[in-house]
Structure 1
Amino acid sequence: MFQKIKEATKNNFGFLAIAVLLFWLKTYLAYQLEFSLGVEGLYQQFLLFINPLAATVFFFGLSLYFSNTKSRHRSLVVFYFLNTALLFGNILYYREFSDFVTLKTILGSSAMMGGLSASFFQMLEWRDLLYWVDFFFIVRLYWKYRPSFATKPPVKKRTATAVLISALLIFSANLSLAEIDRPQLLTRTFDRNYIVKYLGINVYTMYDGIQTARANSVRASADGSDLAPVLDYVEQHYTEPNEALFGQAQGRNVVYIHLESMQQFLIDLELQEENGEINAVTPFLNELYHSSDSYSFSNVFHQTAQGKTSDAELLLDNSLFGLAQGSAFTQLGADNIFQAGPQIMKSHGYTNAVFHGNVGSFWNRDNTYKSMGYDYFFSSETSYNLTPENSVEYGLKDKLFFQESIQYLEQLPQPFYSKFITVSNHFPFPADEMNTVFDIPDTEDTTINGYFNTVHYADQALAEFFQYMKESGLYDNTMFVLYGDHFGISNSRNRTLAPLLDQSSVMWGDYDDAMVQRIPLIIHVPGSETGGIQDTFGGQVDILPTVLHLLGVDTSTHIQLGQDLLSSEREQIVAFRNGNVVSPDYTSIGPAVYDTKTGQMIFIDPNNPSELSNEIDHLREAAQQQLHISDQILNGDLLRFYTPSNFERVDKQAISYLDSPQRLRENLEALGFENTSLMGQNNSQSTVDLYQTDAPEFPGNQPLDTNSLLDEESE
C-alpha cells in the first residue's frame, strides 16, 4: 500500500488524487461528528457523502494551472491548509454557536472572532487531531518526494481546465439530486444547515459570499419608494397598548440590565450542591420574577443570530432583527440611520447612557451607540479600572462593574434611559476561586459546571445593585427592564444539561433545543402592584414597544416590528433567524412541526393540503415576512427616508465618548440649578458610600446578605 502511495505521489495527478480523497473523507467525518444537519434517510446520507467532492476537486484542481511542477505541488499544500483551516474554523464556531461562519463574520466581526480566540483552548477536543493529521501527512509526502517533482512535465492548460469542468459537472449532478429532495434549494433557503447538508461547506461559503455582495448592493440602490411596503407592514401589525397600563411608568428613569447568557430555565431552578444542600441558582431573580411589581414573561425567546449580544441590543433598542449573516453593529452600525429607544426618549427629556466594563470598540459599540442616540458611553478605556484580579475575559466582573458605575449613574440628569451590560456570566464560564459561590455535582462538561457558578455570582451582583438603588432613593422612581441576551448553554451541550432540568438526555431533541431558547424578561415597576407572570409568547423584538407604552410614548408613527407584550391584540408569532417559528399552538423547526404545549411531533402531508397545513404555512410566512421587512430596513438603510412625528434625528457629530465622565461633569456644571441628577438633589454629596458589595477584590467589605431584599418592599 505504501509503495502504491509512493508511486502515486510521484505521478502528475497522484498527489492531487490523494489530497482530494483525504480531504473528502475528512469532511464527511466532520459532518458526522461535529454538525447537526438533520440528515434523514439513505438518500440524504448519500448526498452528504458526495457533496464535498465537487468543491474539493475544483479548489485543489486550481493548483494544476501552475506551470512549474514544484510550484504546482506547493500550491496544493497551501490549498489543502486553507480548506482545512476553513473546515476547522467552522467546527469550532459550530461547537459553540450551532451555526456556520459567514463571510461577514470573518471580515467584519472582529468582536465575535476575538471572543472565539479568547475561549479557543476551552473548545478544543482530543478528536480535533483528526482534522489536522492528514494535512501533516500531505506535507510529509510533499517534502519527501519533492525532488522527483522536478522531473515531471507541466500539466497542459486544457487538462487543468478539464479537471475544473469535471468538478462543475459533479456539482451540477449534486445540485440536481439535491433539488429532488429540496426544491428551490438556493432560491428559498433560510437555513444554512440545508446548504451544507446538500451541497457542502465550501459551496455554502461561496453561496454566502454571493449573498453578502448582493446585500451590499441593496443599500446603494435603495430609495424612498422602498419604504412603502415597510410602512404598510408596520401599520397592519401595530397593536394598541393596554389602556390600563399605558403610561404607568411615565416620567420614571429606565434601567435596562443586560443579563449575559441568562436562560429562562434558571428561574426557580434548585440544585443540590456538593455539601448536600438544595439551593436556588438565582434566588434574587426568582423574587423579582414573582414580585407583584413585576411584569414577568415565561414565554419570551431570544431572537439573536450570529451577532449574539449585539443582535440582542439591536432588538432591544430598535425592535429590528439582526442580520442573517454577521452583526449589524459591525456591518451597518456606524452608517445607518436608526430610530432607537434612546433617541426617542431624548425627545421626552431623557438623558441616555450605556455602562459596559469592556473596551468601547467591542462589537463596534463606540460607533453604533452614536447612531442610536446614546449621550454617554462609559467603557473600560475611560471609566473603569481593570486589573487581572477584578476582570474576566470580557471585562470587569459584575459586582465591581455595578459598584464602579454608581459614580456616573448618580450624576446623570433625571429622567435617564440607561443600560448596564454585564459580562461575568459569559462563555467559557471560567472557574474563579475567589468568586466560587455555587457548587453543584460535577457533570462531564466543565462549561456547564462553570455556568451555574457564574450565574449565581451574577444574581448576587444584581441583588447588591438593587440594594443600592433602594438606599440611594433612585429605586422608587425607576423602571427596571432585565432581559437575557441569548443562550448560555449551546445546543451541543443540552443533552448533558438535561438531567439537571429533570429531563431525559436520551429523549432530548430539536423541540427541546428550541424551548430552552426562552430568556428571562422582567419589567419591574416599583409600587405598581399590578404585575404578574405573563404567559404570552413573544421575542426580544417586542420589548421596545412594550417599554415605550409603559412610559406613555405613542409608537404608532414609529417603525418597529415588534408588538406590545401587554396588548391583547398581539399575534404571538415568534420568528427566528434560522427559519424556525414558535407560537402558543405550534412550533416549526425546519420541515418538522410540533405541538408547542406537549412537544409531540405533528405529521403534515405536503401532498394533501388541509386546514392545519394552511395554518402552519401562514405561521411560517408571517415569520419570514417580519424577517424580510427587517432586512429591507437595515440593508437598504430605509429609515433615512422617514422621520416619525415628535422625533429628532441623531447628530452623530455632536456625540463623543472619548471622555464621557469629564463631559458629564462639564454638562452638569453648565446646568447649574437645573441639575436634576441624584447628586444635584443631594447638594453635590455622593452616594457611592451607600453601595455595599462582598466582592473579594474590593478590600474592607463585609459580606452582604442578599436574601429576600424584595421583602423589605412588601413589609
Structure 2
Amino acid sequence: MITLIFWLKTYTIYQVEFSLGIENSIQKFLLFINPISSTLFFLSFALLFKGKARNRAYLIIHFILSFVLYGNVVYYRFFNDFVTVPVLMQTQNFGQLGGSALALIHPTDVLYFLDFIVLALLVLTKKIKPQEKLSRKAIATAFISAILIFTTNLAIAESDRPQLLTRTFDRNYLVKYLGVHNFTIYDIIQSSKSASQRAFADSNDITEVKNYTNSTYVKPNEKYFGAAKDMNVIYISMESVQGFLIDYKLRGEEVMPFLNSLTKDSNTLYFDNFFHQTAQGKTSDAEFLMENSMYPLPQGSVFTTKAMNTYQGLPSILKSNGFNYTAALHGNSKTFWNREEMYKSQGYDMFYDSSYYNMLSENIIGYGLKDKPFLKESIPYLKEMPQPFYTKFITVTHHFPYPLEEKDRTLEPATTGDKSVDQYFQTARYFDESLKQFFDDLKSSGLYDNTMVVMYGDHYGISENHKRAMGELLGKEITPFEQAQLQRVPLLIHIPGEKIEGGVNHTYGGQVDVRPTILHLLGIDTKNYIEFGSDLLSTEDHQIVPFRNGDFVTPEFTEVSGKCYSNETGELTQDSKTCAQYSEAVKKELELSDKTVYGDLLRFHEVKGFKPVKRSTLDYSKAEHLNQQ
C-alpha cells in the first residue's frame, strides 16, 4: 500500500513540478514506472525489523524519501536542476538563503506530505497493527523484485539513450529515465568516485590535458595585445543581469540606461553573443570560470568541494607579472560559498568581506550589503591599494526573488502577474544606478583613467520556470531554442583613454574565454597555462560555447538536450553530422576540465615565471589588515 501510494505521488510530482522533455512513448512509460524500484527497495529495509519497530522504520524511510523528493521540487523551481550530494554539503550557505528559499515554498506543498501524515496517524493510533514475522524468503523477494524492476528499467532506458550513465552531463536525462531516488543513488556513487580521483592522479595525467590546451590555443590579436598594459583591473560581477536587459524598455523607459550607455561608449568592448556557463555553483561558478578558464563541476561547486586544490588563477598570474596587489570585495560573510578558502587558493592578497563594511540593518538585503553602500564604501579601499592592482566586486542586490524597499525603487514593476519576474526590473534598475555611482566615484578618486573595468553577468536571473511571463515581455514563445538564447549575459570591457577601438563585438563566447582575453589585453601571453577558453579578440577564436550539461552554442547552431537547431531559423537542422562533431568536441573538453579539477592536476604543472600561491602567508582578518596599514 505504501509503495503504491508513494509511487503515484512521485509520478504526480513529475507531471506537476518538473519539465523533463518527454519525447516518445518509451520515455513516458519509463517516467511512469521508474519510481517503483527505488520506493520498493528502500521500504524493503523496514522488513528487516520486527513488530512496532517495523512500523517506525516505515515512517522514517517514508519521511526521508518524501523529504528528498520535496527538496528536489523546491530546488528545481528556481534552478531547473536536481539536488546533488555536493550541493547538500554546502551547509555554510543554507543559513543565508532566507527569502530566496521561502519564495520557492508554496502553501499547497503540504499536500506532498499528506500520505506521510495519514500513515503516521494510522500508526500512532494503532489502526495499523505490527505485522507478523516474515520469512527470509519473503524479505529477499522484496529486495530482488526491486532490483529486477530497476534492471529492466535501465535496460529499456539504455535502448533509448545509449551510454546513459557514462556519456551524459544532464541530470534531467537521468531523472526522466531512472527517477529522482535512483538518480540520488547514482549521484552518491559518482561523488564517491570523484573524491578518489586526486589520490590516484600523478604527473602523467596532466600530459593529455596540456596537449589538448596547446592544440586549441589561439594567438592574440596584435591590434589589442597589450592595449591595457600596466593598467589596474576591476572585475564587477553583475548579479543575475541577463543580456536581454541591454536596451530593453519597460513601458517605453530604459531599464538600465547607464549600462546601455557603456555599450555605445567608444572606450568599451561590448560582446552581445556572450553566454554564462555556470552550473550548480551559480555566482561562484562564474568566478571560477572567469579567473581560471576551466569549467565548473557537474555536481556542486568547485568553491565548496575543491577549494584546497592547487590553482593558477588570474590573481596569482597577475602577481607573477608585475601587479602589486590583488583583492576581492563582497558585502557578505567570508564563509558564504567558502570564499575565504577559495580566495587563498587563487592567491588573493586580501578579501574585504562584510566585516569591513558598515552592515547597518537598513542597508542589508537578501545576500548582504546593498550595492550602493557596498560600492561607495569600497572606494577608500581601492585608493589605498598599491598600483597596478586587480580587484573583483561581487554585487548582490539584483538577486532572486528581487525584493527592494520602496525608497530604493525608481521604476515601476512589470505587470505579468509573476512576482519575481515583475520585480526583476526594479532591482536591475537599482544595480544600474549603483554602477553609475561607482563610475562617478572612480573618476573622483583619480583611479578611473588608469583602470580597465570588466563587467559581466554572472548567471541567468529568470529561470526556465517563468516562460509564460518572459514570453509576454519579449513578445515571443520561449521554445527550448529561445531558452538557450536567453542564457546570454552582458560582457563589457571598458578601457579609458582611446586605447582600443570600442563597439559591439558579435563573437560567440562564454565566461571560460574571459581570462585569456583580459591577459592578452594586459600584454601577458597565456600559451603556457592550462586554460579551456580562447581570446575573444583573436582572429582565430573557435566560437564554440559549451554548457555544463553538454549543450552548446555556435554562430550557426544551438544544441539543446541532444537536439540541434539552426540559429538562423530556430528550427531543427538537417546538418546532424556537423552538430555531432561539435557535441563530441564539447564533451571532450568538459571531461578534460573535470579531470584537471578532480585530480588536482595543476599541482603537477609548472609555468616558467609563475610564482605558486603560498596559502599560509595569507590572512584576511581585520586585525592583520590594520597591521599591514
Scaled to the shorter chain, the TM-score interval is over 0.9
Q: 2:495 aligns with which of 514, 520, 525?
A: 525
Structure 2: how far apart are the matches of 1:664 and 1:417?
17
Q: Is the 8 A contact 2:98 2:366 kept in 1?
A: no
Match of 2:564, SS?
Answer: strand
Return 5+ residue gaps in structure 2 as ranges: none
Say which is worse superposed, 110-119 or 227-236, in terms of deviation. Answer: 110-119
Q: Is the 8 A contact 2:239 2:458 kept in 1?
A: yes
Structure 2: how far apart are the matches of 1:581 and 1:259?
23
Counterpart of 1:673?
none
Partner letter of residue 164 of structure 2? L
- After superposition, give the CA deviation of every residue in 1:340-359 in whole Å (9 maximum; x if it has no partner): 11101111222101110000
Distance apart, 1:419 and its partner CA = 0.5
Counterpart of 1:565?
536
- Change beyond 3 A, Cα 1:463–1:421: same
**2:114 is the counterpart of 1:133:** yes
- Change beyond 3 A, Cα 1:667–1:115: closer
| Count of residues in Structure 1 that have an aligned counterpart in Structure 2 | 627
Structure 1: how far apart are the matches of 2:83 and 2:258?
37
Distance apart, 1:288 and its partner CA = 0.6
Distance apart, 1:587 and its partner CA = 0.6
Counterpart of 2:9?
26
- Change beyond 3 A, Cα 1:112–1:598: farther
Q: CA RMSD in A?
A: 1.3
Counterpart of 1:12?
none
Partner letter of residue 386 of structure 1? M
Counterpart of 2:410?
437
Match of 2:362, SS?
Answer: coil
Distance apart, 1:665 and its partner CA = 5.2
Q: Percent identity?
A: 46
- After superposition, give the CA deviation of every residue in 1:549-597 in whole Å (9 maximum; x if it has no partner): 0000011111111000000101100001111111011111112110123
Distance apart, 1:118 and its partner CA = 4.3
Q: Is the 8 A contact 1:93 1:116 kept in 2?
A: no
Match of 1:401, SS?
Answer: helix
Counterpart of 1:325?
299
Structure 2: how far apart are the matches of 1:478 and 1:299?
25
- After superposition, give the CA deviation of every residue in 1:648-678 in whole Å (9 maximum; x if it has no partner): 000100000112xx5455445xxxxxxxxxx
Q: 1:509 aligns with which of 459, 479, 504?
A: 479
Structure 2: how far apart are the matches of 1:415 and 1:464?
22
Counterpart of 2:593?
630
Q: Is the 8 A contact 2:564 2:576 kept in 1?
A: no
**2:573 is the counterpart of 1:596:** no
Return 5+ residue gaps in structure 1 as ranges: 1-17, 273-277, 604-611, 669-715
**2:42 is the counterpart of 1:63:** no
Q: Is the 8 A contact 2:97 2:366 kept in 1?
A: no
Q: 2:244 aligns with which of 260, 265, 268?
A: 265
Distance apart, 1:613 and its partner CA = 2.5
Structure 1: how far apart are the matches of 2:385 and 2:339?
20
Structure 2: how far apart are the matches of 1:49 and 1:61?
20
Distance apart, 1:27 and its partner CA = 0.6
Q: 1:494 aligns with which of 467, 473, 483?
A: 467
Distance apart, 1:385 and its partner CA = 1.8
Distance apart, 1:143 and its partner CA = 1.9
Q: 1:619 aligns with which of 582, 590, 602?
A: 582
Match of 1:255, SS?
Answer: strand
**2:315 is the counterpart of 1:315:** no
**2:345 is the counterpart of 1:371:** yes
- After superposition, give the CA deviation of every residue in 1:440-478 in whole Å (9 maximum; x if it has no partner): 342211101111111100000000000011122211100
Q: 1:160 aligns with which of 128, 135, 139?
A: 139
Q: Is the 8 A contact 2:509 2:544 kept in 1?
A: yes
1:644-659 equivalence runs, <5 A: 644-659=607-622
Q: Is the 8 A contact 1:256 1:418 kept in 2?
A: yes
Counterpart of 2:222?
243
**2:78 is the counterpart of 1:99:** no
**2:520 is the counterpart of 1:549:** yes
Distance apart, 1:145 and its partner CA = 2.7
- Change beyond 3 A, Cα 1:640–1:623: same
**2:233 is the counterpart of 1:254:** yes
Q: Is the 8 A contact 1:412 1:664 kept in 2?
A: no
Partner letter of residue 523 of structure 2? G
Counterpart of 1:85?
67
Say which is worse superposed, 203-212 or 614-623, in terms of deviation. Answer: 614-623
Q: Is the 8 A contact 1:584 1:597 kept in 2?
A: no
Match of 2:558, SS?
Answer: strand
**2:178 is the counterpart of 1:199:** yes
TM-score scaled by structure 2? 0.98
**2:395 is the counterpart of 1:422:** yes
Structure 1: how far apart are the matches of 2:260 and 2:470?
20
Match of 1:385, SS?
Answer: coil
- After superposition, give the CA deviation of every residue in 1:101-155 in whole Å (9 maximum; x if it has no partner): 0011112x22554455542221123442331112111112222335x625x4222
Q: 1:226 aligns with which of 186, 205, 219?
A: 205
Q: 1:466 aligns with which of 402, 426, 439?
A: 439
Partner letter of residue 448 of structure 2? Y
Match of 2:272, SS?
Answer: strand
Partner letter of residue 650 of structure 1? V
Distance apart, 1:501 and its partner CA = 1.8
Q: Is the 8 A contact 2:87 2:300 kept in 1?
A: yes
- After superposition, give the CA deviation of every residue in 1:509-532 in whole Å (9 maximum; x if it has no partner): 111111100000000001225111
Match of 1:389, SS?
Answer: helix
Q: Is the 8 A contact 1:105 1:113 kept in 2?
A: no
Q: Is the 8 A contact 1:359 1:379 kept in 2?
A: yes
- After superposition, give the CA deviation of every residue in 1:183-215 in whole Å (9 maximum; x if it has no partner): 222222221111110111100000011111111
Q: 2:102 aligns with which of 121, 134, 146?
A: 121
Structure 1: how far apart are the matches of 2:214 and 2:435?
38
Instruction: Give the ranges of 4+ consecutive aligned residues of structure 1 lying more than 3 Å apart after TM superposition.
Output: 111-118, 662-668
- After superposition, give the CA deviation of every residue in 1:311-343 in whole Å (9 maximum; x if it has no partner): 00000111111100000000011x101001110
- After superposition, give the CA deviation of every residue in 1:256-292 in whole Å (9 maximum; x if it has no partner): 00101110000000011xxxxx210000000011111
Q: Is the 8 A contact 2:226 2:521 kept in 1?
A: yes
Match of 2:164, SS?
Answer: coil
Structure 2: how far apart are the matches of 1:165 and 1:345?
59
Q: Is the 8 A contact 2:258 2:433 kept in 1?
A: yes
Partner letter of residue 559 of structure 2? S
- Change beyond 3 A, Cα 1:598–1:115: farther
Rg larger in 1 or in 2? Answer: 1
Structure 1: how far apart are the matches of 2:105 and 2:320?
50
